[in-house]
Amino acid sequence: MVTPWMSYRGVDLFRPAGMSAYAYVTGRMELDADGAPNAYHPNDTGLDALANAGYPGGGWRNVLVQDPANPARPFVQRIGPTAGYFLSKTSLFDPAGEATDPKTYVDSVAIPYIVFPGDFYNLTGTGVMGDFVVARNLLSGEVSTAIVADGGPAAAELGEVSLGLATALGGTNPNPRNGAGKPRGPFKYVVFPRSFASPKWPLSRQQIEQRALGCLATAGGWTTFDALFE
């Protein structure tokens, strides 16, 4: 095993010589439902618990869209299949989209994404929202592409992912309320800093896959990053 490029909260990050891409392995997986239009409901019947959105305390403003007519309360969707639900947002979003349109944000169920803790995001070289990722379940072999789409608490550990990524890596109906249904790991992630598209969002799942696999191929494939851990 080569010398780590850096370590973050007990996780070693490895970077091939001459590359900005890096890889890390963690057995931790936490589930992020943000961006899914049915993530949170005023009656606490959404995919995730209202407490995880900081509601009814003041922390909800970092997770839920404010009502344009009354910014002191969260916006409740009025039309569509998720009418009646609050609307949660992601750090990656369409700057040209309406704040109250679910399509403006990255749907946790539909799109595989990873979450950058705040302190990790602030480190030089770790990348930005919209960068592309490939991930592999080292226990089962499942592989998925992904995108960096949300930010977590400043002091959080690595390993928080969308419901879509948890499913793609072997999970079954992953439940962000209690962690049930998430896959067993460990998991290897390869991040390609500054690989984001222009515009960064919206992108289809197919576009994410194409771009992420292109980054991996340019870097020499999985062999390049597996060699870092030998």
Question: 134-164, pLDDT tens digit by residue?
Answer: 999 999 999 999 999 999 999 999 999 999 9
Please state, rounded to an integer, the average pLDDT across all residues of the chain. 97
pLDDT digits (tens, 9 = 90+) for 166-212: 999 999 999 999 999 999 999 999 999 999 999 999 999 999 999 99
pLDDT of 141 reads 97
Nearest to 134 by CA among 15, 221, 40: 221
Could you tell me the pTM of the whole model?
Answer: 0.97
Comparing CA positions, the residue from 64, 177, 163 lying closest to residue 109 is 163
pLDDT reading at 110 higher than 80: yes
The predicted model gives 66-73 an average pLDDT of: 96
Query: What is the predicted pLDDT for the residue at 182?
Result: 97
pLDDT of 1 above 70: no
| Strand 6-8 relative to strand 11-14, pairing | antiparallel
pLDDT in tens, 126-142: 999 999 999 999 999 99
Q: Tell me how many degrees the CA angle 27-29-153 measures, rounded to the nearest 5.
A: 120
- Is residue 116's pLDDT more than 70? yes
Burial of 127 (0-12, 13-18, 19+ CB in 10 A): buried
Residues 60 and 54: beta-carbon distance below 8 Å: yes
Domain 6-33+108-229, CATH 3.40.50.880 — does that match?
A: no
Could you tell me the residue ranges of all domains in the chain? Answer: 6-33+108-229, 36-88
